[in-house]
A and B are shown apart, each in its own frame.
Chain A
Amino acid sequence: MTRTHVSATVNGDPAEFLSDPGTTLLDALRDELGLTGAKEGCGSGDCGACSVIVDGRLVCACLMLAAEAEGRRIETIEGMADGSTLHPLQRQFLEHAALQCGFCTPGMLVATKALLDANPDPTESETRYWLAGNLCRCTGYDKVIRAVMDAAAELRQVRV
């Protein structure tokens, strides 16, 4: 088995690692790069806890081979805050108590960031369908949706 050398951009910085051909991007992020914010909840693309953004597209890191990341631009939860300043989504999640155990939270935040990047003014229904691939078993989604809607409103203010 030959290990593949992969060069990618992770959260704006160059990153290099070796990967086995069958290694997923999720395992590479967690085990090779020490970025454990993306979680494995299912390993089959059904829970969204490993959500990352690759070249602007939201994907499950568990459904992508690490070798496929060659030359790609990857954004993870670790790159979401600006230094010690939280992203408005992160802050709104805290203010709304939109997390209980917090395990799905990194994936949920990455997914909502991708939503607001694509659609700054989503309806509640659009938000719910966009997040249908991010399972949360604690909150019943109520406070998550409210946090996203408020963060969207806040970000629209900033843009104006």
Chain B
Amino acid sequence: MTQLDYVAPTSADEAAAALAAGGGAARALAGGTDLLVQLRSRRLKPGLIVDLKRIPGAIGVREENGDFVVGAATPGAVIGEHEALAKAWPGVVEAARLIGSTQIQGRASMAGNLCNASPAADSAPALIAARAICVIVGPAGRRAAPAEAIATGPGRTSLALGEFVFEIRLPARPARSADAYLRFIPRTEMDIAVVGAGVNLTLDGDGAVVDARVALGAVGPTVIVAEAAAAALIGGRLDEATLARLDEAARAACRPIGDKRGTAEYRTKIAGVLARRAAVIAYARAKARAGEDA
């Protein structure tokens, strides 16, 4: 019989040690909404499950020098209840809230979503657009990495043996900034994103975009940071011509596959549509925040 053990360490270092000792057969458990499905279907036969939820700080959102720090196992429902976070990073919060059903929201975390390394992970484009930083704990100590550095391909991550994402930090941001995330699914709920688009904008005092970041999900092996799409937004106020350029640049950045969830051609078209729609929402939010600050 395959030996399987479960441990629930109460410190991050203990968890890293357990994961390292477990070797390749060890798996970190945050919300478990991906891990348990793999376990149940016998696609994955781990030897050790290291539950992160008993580590202080693993569940919860806190503010630290203007940054928001989200614990590795913080479920979507808890993220959604943090009003200051939702106000500062509405796109990240809506992305986290889109992962699965109400039941999944009671468990699923953004760190788990990132580390599962699905190209379609809903929170990934939003976190990457937001320039989120992951705090990684491992046997050699702590290090920081940008959110886009975690997934290296479908189901593959840059995490070394024994490492796990312990926190996600969302940086302090200028006023007149906002983000938005949209995904397309065939139903209204319960589906994996066919395409996801995160847009993060900062405006100047006159309403022109001075900083933009566009991240696209499910149109490549990992989330695509569409730099030309972001560049198309800079200096503009999201008039029709700007949005058309954004749409075109977003489409040009796509390298999708065709699969059971959508053809490559369709995914590319939708990436343009969603980038455009998300930019409009983010822009309106940024304007509204600028208005509040004034």
Asked if A65 meets B189 with Cβ closer than 8 Å, knowing A57-B75, A111-B103, A133-B100, the reply is no
Do B5 and A2 have beta carbons less than 8 Å apart?
yes
Do B6 and A63 have beta carbons less than 8 Å apart?
no
Question: CB of B140 within 8 A of chain A?
Answer: no
- Which of A1, A51, A62, A130 lies in contact with B1, CB distance below 8 A? A1
Q: Complex formed: what's the CA distance from A48 to B102 in Å?
A: 9
Do B101 and A1 have beta carbons less than 8 Å apart?
no
Find residues 21-70 in chain A having any chain B CB closer than 8 Å to their own CB: 21-22, 24, 43-46, 48, 51, 54, 57-60, 62-65, 67-68, 70
For B25, the chain A residues whose CB sits under 8 A away are: none
- Measured CB to CB, the closest approach of chain A to B39, in angstroms, equals 6
Do A54 and B102 have beta carbons less than 8 Å apart?
no
Do B101 and A48 have beta carbons less than 8 Å apart?
yes
For A132, the chain B residues whose CB sits under 8 A away are: 101-102, 188-190
- Measured CB to CB, the closest approach of chain B to A61, in angstroms, equals 9
For A22, the chain B residues whose CB sits under 8 A away are: 4, 39
Query: Which chain B residue shows the least CB distance to A131?
Result: B102
Do B77 and A68 have beta carbons less than 8 Å apart?
no
Question: CB of B104 within 8 A of chain A?
Answer: yes
- Which of A43, A64, A133 lies in contact with B102, CB distance below 8 A? A133
Do A60 and B104 have beta carbons less than 8 Å apart?
yes
- Which of B6, B40, B102, B107 lies in contact with A4, CB distance below 8 A? B6
Find residues 1-30 in chain B having any chain A CB closer than 8 Å to their own CB: 1, 3-6, 8, 29
For B190, the chain A residues whose CB sits under 8 A away are: 46, 132-133
1/0 contact string of B46-64 vs chain A (CB within 8 Å): 0001010100000000000
Asked if A58 meets B102 with Cβ closer than 8 Å, knowing A45-B33, A65-B36, the reply is yes
Q: Complex formed: what's the CA distance from A129 to B1 in Å?
A: 42
Do A63 and B32 have beta carbons less than 8 Å apart?
yes
Question: CB of A149 within 8 A of chain B?
Answer: no
For A111, the chain B residues whose CB sits under 8 A away are: 102-103
1/0 contact string of A116-151 vs chain B (CB within 8 Å): 000000000000011111100000000000000000
For B145, the chain A residues whose CB sits under 8 A away are: none
- Which of A2, A51, A57, A62 lies in contact with B36, CB distance below 8 A? A62
Question: CB of A114 within 8 A of chain B?
Answer: yes
Do A24 and B40 have beta carbons less than 8 Å apart?
yes
For B5, the chain A residues whose CB sits under 8 A away are: 1-2, 21
Do A43 and B40 have beta carbons less than 8 Å apart?
yes
Do B4 and A133 have beta carbons less than 8 Å apart?
no
Given contacts A63-B107, A65-B32, A67-B51, 20 further A-B contacts (CB under 8 A): A1-B1, A1-B3, A1-B4, A21-B5, A21-B6, A43-B37, A45-B103, A45-B104, A54-B106, A58-B102, A59-B103, A60-B103, A62-B40, A64-B32, A64-B107, A68-B29, A68-B53, A132-B102, A133-B189, A133-B190
Instruction: List 20 A-B residue pairs with CB atoms under 8 Å apart, sorted by A's residue number.
Output: A22-B39, A24-B40, A45-B100, A48-B103, A51-B103, A54-B106, A60-B103, A62-B40, A63-B107, A65-B29, A67-B51, A68-B29, A68-B32, A111-B102, A129-B188, A130-B102, A132-B188, A132-B190, A133-B190, A134-B101
